[in-house]
Structure 1
Amino acid sequence: MDALEEIFGKTAQMTVLKNLIQHRNESTYLSGIAEETGLSHSSVARVIAPLIKTGIVIEKPLGKQIRTFRLNLDNEKTHLILDFYTRLNEK
């Protein structure tokens, strides 16, 4: 359990957010996040929606049915989260 989970608990949204933070310079798919985190595809879809709505995550369609996701590194909230995450994990 890392410092973020110790404070906020281990939730599906926290797990997805941590996965996106760890891959912050990459785009990924719902299936990729689900596979890496052990969450179901539907759980990832459910918890990523608020992150998209707040602008922390960017969703980009790729064709008609495929969507890619990545952290929005141009968003101030994302910078605050990244700074907070980095500082928490410094030891």
Structure 2
Amino acid sequence: MSPLEKLFGKTAQLTVLEYLMKNKEEINYLSGIAQGTGLYHSSVARVLEPLLENNIVIEKKIGKQIRTFSLNEEHEATKLLITFYEGLKPVMGD
């Protein structure tokens, strides 16, 4: 069980956020996030919307149809989330 899940329970949005934090150096596609989290494609798309609206996640389009997602590491809230997550891992176990 992940540190965030231990504290806040299992939600699709936390699952996607944690996946992006663990894979922040990677190019993340919607299908890859769905596969990596075990969530349905539609669920990932749905929970990404508020993260995009709040600038926690940024989207880049490649061509007309390919969308990639990554953490907006320049945003202050994202920096706080990453710091919180990294500090929580040794305390709660990973």
Instruction: Note whether the superposition's TM-score is higher than 0.5.
Output: yes
Alignment of 1:5-84 (within 5 A): 5-84=5-84
The yes-or-no answer on 1:2 pairing with 2:2 is yes
C-alpha displacement at 1:6, in angstroms?
A: 1.4
TM-score of the aligned structures, taking structure 2 as reference length:
0.92
* Matched letter for residue 13 of structure 2: Q
Q: CA RMSD in A?
A: 0.9
Runs of 4+ in 1 over 2 A off after TM superposition: none
C-alpha displacement at 1:76, in angstroms?
A: 0.5
* Matched letter for residue 4 of structure 1: L
* Matched letter for residue 3 of structure 2: A
C-alpha displacement at 1:3, in angstroms?
A: 2.1
* Matched letter for residue 25 of structure 1: E
TM-score of the aligned structures, taking structure 1 as reference length:
0.95
SS at match of 1:69: strand
State the distance in 2 between where 1:26 and 1:8 align: 26
C-alpha displacement at 1:44, in angstroms?
A: 0.2
* Matched letter for residue 21 of structure 1: M
SS at match of 1:90: helix
Aligned to 2:90: 90
